[in-house]
Amino acid sequence: MTQARVRLRISLAARRVVDEQRLGFVATVGPGAVPNLSPKGTLSVWDDRHLIFADLDSPGTVRNLQHHPRFEVNVVDPILRKGWRFRGTGRVYRRGRLFEAGVRFFEGRKLSDAPRRVRSIVLLTVDYVAPLISPAYAAGRTEEELRRHWWKYFRELERRRHQPT
């Protein structure tokens, strides 16, 4: 088994997946070491050491980060079956310059009614970045094969959903 190389900065390749997917799963730790995982569609790259998301309705994640700042985020391309994992420490901003800059950032990304909806801005300082790769690649599948397979799968799923019952 190969050990994934640990990176400290968010590379352009990792940034591209985060920008494209517009969805990351944020794991935090709650009281009693209870794990908490929830999706964030606003997850974005702030700079090469920070991710950011808008807290629109994330009371659990925010509460956890305030008590125990460690997090892990996974962002995966469901077609290519590749992605990135990020670990580090998170901080919650409810007011001040970072909060205002964050709200402007999400307004720029067309988050509707951002000033009213954003409860807080969560800045995630990244200290570990590693790729996530489906074992299908180790089994010999190519990116092109997987792309074709999963597009077909999702197209079929979509077709079935729109079929009258």
Ligand X SMILES: Cc1cc2nc3c(=O)[nH]c(=O)nc-3n(C[C@H](O)[C@H](O)[C@H](O)COP(=O)(O)O)c2cc1C
Q: Is 120 in the site for ligand X (CB under 6 A)?
A: no
Residue ranges in 3-32 that form contacts with ligand X under rule CB under 6 A:
23
Cα torsion 77, 98, 121, 125 to 10°: value is: 50
Residue 124 near residue 49, CB atoms below 8 Å: no
Residue in 46, 53, 84, 106 binding ligand X, rule: CB under 6 A: 53
Q: Is 54 in the site for ligand X (CB under 6 A)?
A: yes
Q: Is 38 in the site for ligand X (CB under 6 A)?
A: yes
Q: Is 56 in the site for ligand X (CB under 6 A)?
A: yes
Residue 91 near residue 55, CB atoms below 8 Å: no
Residue in 17, 61, 65, 84 binding ligand X, rule: CB under 6 A: 61
C-alpha closest to that of 4 among 73, 124, 88, 84: 84
Residue in 42, 65, 102, 123 binding ligand X, rule: CB under 6 A: 42
Q: Is 36 in the site for ligand X (CB under 6 A)?
A: yes
Residue in the block written with tokens 């909060």: 99
Cα torsion 3, 17, 39, 58 to 10°: value is: 110
Residue 65 near residue 122, CB atoms below 8 Å: yes
**Which residue, 67 or 148, has its beta carbon nearer to ligand X?**
67
CB 94 to ligand X: min, Å: 13
Residues forming contacts to ligand X in the complex (CB under 6 A) are 23, 36, 38-42, 53-61
